[in-house]
Amino acid sequence: MLLQFRGGRLIPAALAIIVMGLGLLPADASSASISHPYKTTGGLPNGSLVVLDATHSDYVQPANVKNASRLLGVAVADGESLLAVDSNQGTTQVATNGNASALVSTVNGDVHLGDQITASPFNGVGMKATAGGEVLGLAQSALDDHTQGTITEMVTDTAGKSRQITVGLVRVNIAVSSHGDKADGDLTGPQKVVHLLTGHEVSTLRALISLLVALVALLALVTLIYASIYGSIIAVGRNPLAKYTIFRTLGSVLGMAVLTALVAGVTLFLLLR
């Protein structure tokens, strides 16, 4: 099936088809702390990202990149939040904090644990946040082509370029804020260091591995460079006639140091992207 973006939105019927394909939602999909009732002008599948309606009081509508500045929360089923405020027939419960399962796509790349989630060009479907703007919260699970319970679709953007994306449920810790505004108090020590260096959050495990790789690489580089230069100076002083052989050996060792730096850099990039 080919879905097309029109003016930054997905064809309206596409979201319903995606939701049907996923079989939303499992009984224990959400555990939001608090949800509030809102009216809608049309049905909202559970897991949809929603925004406040700009023209109707107490109404919500599907979120997308054009209205993300009014991002509110995630639509959840009745009984799927710990506290549903004034649950009324005919309204949609919207979780505004706590954990909830949200519809997310890979239109902006694979989603990793700790990534910030924002609205996407798909009505009601989120994506990984990589630029400024409002974010829904932090991903508590990952999403890629190999995640179970997802569906894959071909979409065509406004430039006419086709690409394959994956859509599925991602657990999100809801805390609506501007991109990059997550409080440092919510991060562990290694996460704070990585966030300071890269500007985005990763899981504690990836942060620890990244810091360990960086430390080992730094020690290896310092040891190689110091030992090679110091040894070369001593060797030339003892046998000046062998300086060309010594410098050639020095060049080989420094080349190994450069290779070590490149391997460490690639490893860190893959861990922190």
Residue 98 pLDDT class (50, 70, 90 cuts): confident
For residue 117, the model assigns a pLDDT of: 92
Task: Tell me the pTM.
Answer: 0.56
22 vs 150, higher pLDDT = 150
66 vs 202, higher pLDDT = 66
For residue 33, the model assigns a pLDDT of: 66
Percent of the chain as helix, strand, coil, to the nearest 5: 35, 30, 35
Percent of the chain clearing pLDDT 70 (strictly above)? 73
Within 13 Å of residue 27, how many CA atoms lie on the same side as its CB? 0
For residue 187, the model assigns a pLDDT of: 62
Looking at residue 140, the DSSP 8-state letter turns out to be S
Residue 22 pLDDT class (50, 70, 90 cuts): low
Residue 147: pLDDT above 60? Answer: yes
Residue 86: pLDDT above 70? Answer: no
Question: What is the pLDDT averaged over residues 148-154?
Answer: 84
Residue 104: pLDDT above 90? Answer: yes
Residue 13 pLDDT class (50, 70, 90 cuts): very low
For residue 185, the model assigns a pLDDT of: 47
Three-state SS string over 169-228 comes to EEEEEEEEEECCCCCHHHCCHHHHHHHHHHCCCCCHHHHHHHHHHHHHHHHHHHHHHHHH
Question: What is the pLDDT averaged over residues 129-143?
Answer: 85
206 vs 150, higher pLDDT = 150
